[in-house]
Amino acid sequence: MIRFPENRICLPAFQLNKTAERFVAFLPTILFATALTFLNHHALALDVIPIRVSASPGKIMDGPRVIEEVASGTPLWAEERGKNGWWLVTAPVAKKQGWIHVSDIVFPQYSARQREQLQLADQLHSQHFALKKSKDFDGAITKLKQAIAATESLFDVDHPEVNDYRESLALCMNAIGDTQEAIDIIARVRTSWEKTLGTQHPYVLRALFNPAFWLKRVGRNAEAEAMLKESFTRRNTHYGPHHKKTLDALSSLADITTWHSGDMAQAREYYQLLVDGYTKTLDEFDVDRVEATMDLADATLRLGRFDEGRKLYDDTLEKLIERYGEKHENVLSAMASYALGLSNAPLGNGPITLSSTWSFEAGSGYEELLLKARSLRREIVKVRVETLGPDHAKTLEAQSLLADNLSSSLHNSVIDKDALRESVQLRRLMLAKKRELFGDEHKETTESVDALIKALDQSELYEEAMQHRRYRYERALELHGPKATETLVTGVEVVRGMVLNGKTPEARQECDRILDLCLQDPLNNYRAVYAIDEVLSDLGDAGAILDLWDTYYRELRQREVLETYIGMRTAQKVAAVEMSHGFIDRAKSIIADLIPVYQKQLSDDSQWDNFTRHWRATQIAVICSQVGLDDASLRFHQIAFDLGMNRGSASGVEYLNLGVTFSDAGRPHEARPLLARALELSSLDDNSSNQVLPTCISAYASVLLELGDHDTIKQLTIQLAEVFAKALEVKDPGVLRQIHYAGQSLARAGQHEEVLEILNRSVPLLLELLPETHVYSQHSREVYSEVLLRAGKPLDAFQVIDQSRVASRAFIASSLPLITPNEQFQFLTTKDQAKLEKALSLAVHLKNQSEVAEKSAGWLLNSKALTQETVGKTTLTSDPRVTKLVRELRDVNGELAALTYQPASEQSAIRLSALKSQQRSLHRRLSTAGLNLSVSDQWVKLDLNQAKLDLRFI
């Protein structure tokens, strides 16, 4: 029962007393008078009446209690007229009915037609709620669009009634996953509300808060963080620092700062403000207050303040135990947060990603934290078993988290063998339990199998891991048949087990067999093909990877499915693999085939939403640029830029992409303002892992050099030093690589001394993080040697080049086998010749140095050894039968390559299919004959003294 408020004059309820008979006698007259009064007030006694709050604030009451305070200008629906000027309404936030006084509201003057349309819109809006509750979002969206159409026919586009329904539409669009459309709608609504209601209105503040989470969902974290900052600032001004809405925004801002930008100093400030706010508004044991304190402790630990962070955790946990006891759910939840915080501490200042690792030096203090986390996990498991039993879901989850901890490194990625054995045993017990509870095919069981296999691989118990792999494959074979995707994927896992068990020839044969099955339904079996790619990558067989993707691409093209998502994704993958092997013309041909497909899809508004069209346009523009299709790249970058502007603003990346494209097209004057804007926008992102900022510096420096603006170039050098200082906190190889490219551009503009100070620290750091042969390592050495030369340090540059030549042999050796001599020549010409000639030119300049002569002779010797050994492997064997097979394979590869990039026809498709089968047959026969076609990646060291060669002739 909703009571009339008592703080205003109200008539008492009717009572049956001695005047009752008189009242009944006059009842018809009273009813008639009441009806006339209702008609004078818009004649809507039995229907809802649109009203608007005029007081600041208006109060919705239930008796003496205030249900909700509503800001001035808020539209409401009056559902019933009460006594003494009270109207029944529904509180917009609390969603409860209450009474608002006529002195707090105004009645807009609507015509009969307007009232009819408004009532229709309200009915549609109510129907949308019912459909939404039943998960019929398409139906709900249809009703909302009808409601919007009904109200737009009455009012201008900024009318609050229209925007109410638009906001509901945005919520529905987000619910079905059309996040970008939801973001676009709510941005329009927020702008409209700001014009009509003001920037501080609660509706505006709500529309500024919710979409931040939608932005985060589509990966636009920097925009989400900026929106939450603005939301917190405005709520703090409007509601005050300790209001729940303000603290909600602060909590979300602190979380996104922790997980996205990783600025733990800033995050800690936010969490401290949050704890201070909750301390003044919430009970000591309130869940939100406890969680905020734990987050504060986590940020403190990640800043290296171990004692302070642990004290916060320990004090909170002690109070909870004292209040609830050791086995209470709140205590166990706090212990889990404590363990997670201790585990995250080694990640330090920087964002947490899926690739984040726990590696750290022994004796640094982190080892103690990880062991403490392990102790807490053990205690949680113990209590869960005692209170819930061994079969409960929470018990199994606690055991899984303990197993994760046990298999983690304690320092420098060195595994604690005893802990790892315990982890394996725990995984075995969990798998047995889940099989008992759920059966073999349940998701919980299959995830446990995967976790056990991973732990067994870590423990080098490959035979046992292989047993589980085979069991999963046999079950998939039994349930789904030999050609099903699930069977093929589990089959590739068996192949991975073969590789780990040292059975490489068998693994290769099995890969061929699985690929044959994949190609029978290539569109649906792409997951298995990508799994084969991972196994071949583990083997380091670049030639086989190239062969795999060429074969898969031909099959998709033959079936004319390149316009599908899988088809386009595969074509791009093949182009990338071709480029990595130096076959630019092949890659260019593949991407040129895709351009009409993309143009057709981008022109169709109904096929993709705005966000997807923008993403696709950017993706194909970058790929076109990589293969030298500059005109197409400029065209697609312009499309992406226009789509970004249509959303309200283009991002720094969009300005960068378009600016670089203009620069590559020889139009520096048009590129300059775009790159300047890109640099300005990317500088706003404080994320230490921001790769866009150094990329902007690199591109902008190149354009400024062409235009002769050396003063701005000096400012860029100072900015690059600041970027590097931040990069030292996160040690991200991708950021370091972009810093090196930026340094190269600045050094060419005359800033070599300043850049060298950065590279002297950044290049060794990157080489610590990545293998010698990694492409980032190779590129960074090339940049470093160039800057050393520009700085007048040729001997130092020579040493860096020598390290690069040694490392490059392993990469090149993996790429030459099983391609035609023409392709080998093209590969070496595009990938290595210019680098070798440049290196030898420096050696000639330093010819009087004995070390230079000896090492440069080694460069030449090893370069020739690569080509000679490849020729020998592919043309000379002691068995004439094998020689014949090699020649056949070479001829088949050549014809396949030629046919693949010709226009498709029925005749060529038949020939491709025959050649493909012949190629796989030749591979198997060569393997059976014991021919190893790989080329040695070992560096051949030349000793001039032992060879008795005169230095003057080297």
Q: Where residue 69 sits, what CATH number does that domain have?
A: 2.30.30.40
Q: What are the start-end ranges of the H helices in 69-134? A: 112-133
Residue 98 bridge partners (DSSP): 89
CA 766 vs CA 557, 746, 788: distances in Å: 40, 20, 17
Residue 75 bridge partners (DSSP): 52
Cβ pair 359, 413 in contact under 8 A: yes
pLDDT on residue 878:
42
Q: At what angle do helices 834-845 and 850-875 cross, to 10 degrees?
A: 150
The H or E element that residue 182 is part of is helix 179-197
Domain count for the chain: 4
- Whether residue 677 lies inside any domain: the answer is yes
* Burial 135-159, CB ≥16 within 10 A → b, else e: eebebbbbbbbbbbebbbebeeebe
Residue 472's nearest CA partner among 503, 502, 435 is 435
Phi, psi of 788 (to 5 degrees): -60, -40
The H or E element that residue 410 is part of is strand 409-411
- As a whole number of angstroms, the distance between CA 692 and CA 679 comes to 9
Residue 220 bridge partners (DSSP): none
Whether residue 660 is found in the same domain as residue 808: yes
Q: How crowded is residue 758: how many other Cβ atoms within 10 Å of its Cβ?
A: 22
Whether residue 798 is found in the same domain as residue 877: no
Range of the domain at 779: 651-812
- As a whole number of angstroms, the distance between CA 199 and CA 191 comes to 9
- Whether residue 304 lies inside any domain: the answer is no
Q: Where residue 716 sits, what CATH number does that domain have?
A: 1.25.40.10
pLDDT on residue 14:
30
Cβ pair 226, 215 in contact under 8 A: no
CA 536 vs CA 41, 199, 496, 541: distances in Å: 79, 57, 9, 6
- Whether residue 201 lies inside any domain: the answer is no
- As a whole number of angstroms, the distance between CA 255 and CA 265 comes to 13
- As a whole number of angstroms, the distance between CA 842 and CA 788 comes to 12
Residue 234's nearest CA partner among 262, 204, 279 is 204
Cβ pair 687, 262 in contact under 8 A: yes
Whether residue 685 is found in the same domain as residue 756: yes
Cβ pair 731, 761 in contact under 8 A: no
Tell me the DSSP string of 686-699.
--TT-SHHHHHHHH
Which of 106, 127, 150 is the endpoint of a domain? 106
Helix then strand then coil, in percent of the chain rounded to 5, is: 70, 5, 25
Whether residue 745 is found in the same domain as residue 872: no
pLDDT on residue 72:
83
- As a whole number of angstroms, the distance between CA 827 and CA 158 comes to 62
- Whether residue 678 lies inside any domain: the answer is yes
Cβ pair 318, 335 in contact under 8 A: no
Amino acid at 498: M
- Start-to-end CA distance of the chain, whole Å, equals 103
pLDDT on residue 568:
79
Mean pLDDT, consecutive 10-residue stretches, the chain (954 aa), reads: 36 33 39 37 45 86 88 80 80 84 80 77 86 88 88 72 85 84 85 79 85 80 84 90 92 87 83 93 90 91 85 92 91 91 71 45 64 92 92 90 79 64 91 88 88 88 92 89 89 89 85 89 87 81 82 85 79 82 82 83 64 70 81 82 64 77 82 85 68 84 86 86 79 79 85 87 83 74 87 86 77 56 64 76 77 76 68 50 61 60 52 63 60 56 52 45
Which of 106, 133, 160 is the endpoint of a domain? 106
- As a whole number of angstroms, the distance between CA 491 and CA 473 comes to 6
- Residue-level length of the chain: 954
Which of 106, 128, 153 is the endpoint of a domain? 106
- As a whole number of angstroms, the distance between CA 493 and CA 131 comes to 44
Cβ pair 758, 788 in contact under 8 A: no
Whether residue 793 is found in the same domain as residue 875: no
pLDDT in tens, 189-227: 888 888 777 788 888 888 888 888 888 877 777 788 888
Q: Which two tokens stand for residue 367?
A: 């080892």
Q: 3-class SS at 414?
A: strand
Whether residue 867 is found in the same domain as residue 753: no
Q: Which two tokens stand for residue 184?
A: 């676009």
Cβ pair 194, 230 in contact under 8 A: no
pLDDT on residue 948:
45
- Whether residue 646 lies inside any domain: the answer is no
Whether residue 770 is found in the same domain as residue 888: no
Q: 3-class SS at 76?
A: strand
- As a whole number of angstroms, the distance between CA 296 and CA 40 comes to 60
- Residue written as token pair 């988290």: 401
- Whether residue 345 lies inside any domain: the answer is no
Three-state SS letters, 767-792: HHHCCCCCHHHHHHHHHHHHHHHHCC
Whether residue 808 is found in the same domain as residue 864: no
- As a whole number of angstroms, the distance between CA 403 and CA 113 comes to 68
- As a whole number of angstroms, the distance between CA 765 and CA 760 comes to 9
pLDDT on residue 10:
33
Tell me the DSSP string of 652-700.
HHHHHHHHHHHHHTT-HHHHHHHHHHHHHHHTT---TT-SHHHHHHHHH
* Burial 606-615, CB ≥16 within 10 A → b, else e: eebbbbbbbb
The H or E element that residue 886 is part of is helix 880-900
Whether residue 761 is found in the same domain as residue 904: no
Q: Which two tokens stand for residue 325?
A: 């006891």
Long-range pairs, 786-793, Cβ under 8 A, ≥24: 786/744, 786/747, 787/743, 787/744, 787/747, 787/752, 787/755, 787/756, 787/759, 788/756, 789/842, 790/747, 790/748, 790/752, 791/747, 791/752, 791/753, 791/756
Whether residue 807 is found in the same domain as residue 685: yes
- Whether residue 519 lies inside any domain: the answer is no
Q: Which two tokens stand for residue 483?
A: 């050609």
- Residue written as token pair 């993709």: 608
Q: Residue 598 carries which DSSP code? A: H
Cβ pair 495, 511 in contact under 8 A: yes
Q: How crowded is residue 928: how many other Cβ atoms within 10 Å of its Cβ?
A: 11
- As a whole number of angstroms, the distance between CA 190 and CA 316 comes to 40
Residue 759's nearest CA partner among 724, 802, 726, 716 is 724
Q: Which two tokens stand for residue 705?
A: 């050099």
Distance of alpha carbon 171 from the chain centroid: 23
Give the CA angle between residues 804, 858, 790 to the nearest 5°: 45
- Rg (Cα) of the chain, in Å, rounded? 35
- Residue written as token pair 């099995």: 510
Distance of alpha carbon 818 from the chain centroid: 37
Tell me the DSSP string of 221-273.
HHHHHHHHHHHHHHHHHHH-TTSHHHHHHHHHHHHHIIIII--HHHHHHHHHH
Q: 3-class SS at 547?
A: helix
Whether residue 801 is found in the same domain as residue 667: yes
- Whether residue 907 lies inside any domain: the answer is yes
What is the strand order of the sheet 75-78 is part of?
A: 75-78, 49-53, 105-106
Whether residue 786 is found in the same domain as residue 924: no
